[in-house]
Amino acid sequence: MAYISCSIQQIRCSFTLFAIMFLVTFSVYNLNMRTDEEEDSINNLDRYSFTKKYEKTLYFSALIAYFFSLLFAMSHGSKAMLITSIPLICGILYSGMWIPKEFKYRRLKEILGIKNFVVAIAWALPSALLPTQFTSASESLASFVVGVYCFLSTFIGSAICDMRDIEGDAFSGVDTIPVVLGVQKSKTLLAALNLFIGLMVLMISIEYLSPIVTYLLAAGMVYNHLCIFSFDKVVETDFLCDMVVNGKYTILAVILYIGTNMMYRF
């Protein structure tokens, strides 16, 4: 995500930026595993067994990782630290039982659609804004494009994983989009969002950004669509969610790297 963001915004890549994004991702996902134990005990027993066995190691590793991410960000100013803190703040609001007992819901993740919205915001804002803190460049239209695209892709990815986790979420009282709408209607909704928001981003890219960025965003839209409509057509949904969906940015980054080098060569 960091590499793609830097490329779209024409910002020089920074090892410190990559380290921050890696450490934040490692930390937030491990902390989230700790708060999602009830659902994982039904949805993904292998993962639950692993995280339970190494619970203390993973927990303290996650805390140390986030500490170092904030330490690295601090060298680039308070704004960089604030942006780096966004996934942690969203994670606490997302999984923590901070809503008063008088209300129907105790956690944001239990509210329909809010779960996916918070997760998407948590990754879209740092991806779009953090690279600008490592250069003299300010936020631009390219930053907006990165933010919207990362929001869309992360929203869709989290909803696809919710399709896999529908049984455990329903048991735990978490009203995800698939729990409420069912798998088929959820796929239709996600496909519509991908087309509507994706085409809007493509139109901006065609008008104001480089052709290689437009091709990348188009490839990302197609990738999203393939993930959506492949869900109930594959046996290994864990592989689809954990490798194909969550590994999307790695694949797109490779495509971008190859495409950029080919363009410069010719």
User: Along the chain (266 residues), what's the average pLDDT of each consecutive run of 10 residues?
Assistant: 92 92 93 75 78 90 96 94 94 76 71 85 95 86 94 94 84 82 93 95 91 90 92 79 89 86 65
Q: How many domains does the chain have?
A: 1
- Considering just the CA atoms, what is the radius of gyration of the chain in Å? 19
Domain range for residue 47?
2-265
CA distances from 112 to 107, 109, 162, 175, 259 (A): 11, 8, 12, 5, 39
CA distances from 107 to 101, 137, 231, 247 (A): 10, 38, 27, 27
Total residues found in the chain within this entry: 266
Stated as kind and residue range, the H or E segment containing 64 is helix 55-74
At 263 the pLDDT is 65
Residue 41 is which amino acid? S
Query: Looking at residue 244, what DSSP letter applies?
Result: I
Furthest-apart CA atoms within the chain: distance in Å: 64
Helices (H), 182-247: 183-208, 211-230, 237-239
User: Residue 9 and residue 58: Cα distance in Å, rounded?
Assistant: 34
Nearest to 151 by CA among 122, 118, 124: 124
Nearest to 255 by CA among 223, 224, 231, 230: 223
> For the whole model, what pTM was predicted?
0.88
Query: Please, are residues 2 and 18 in contact by the beta-carbon 8 Å criterion?
Result: yes
User: Cα 66–11–89 angle (5° rounding)?
Assistant: 25
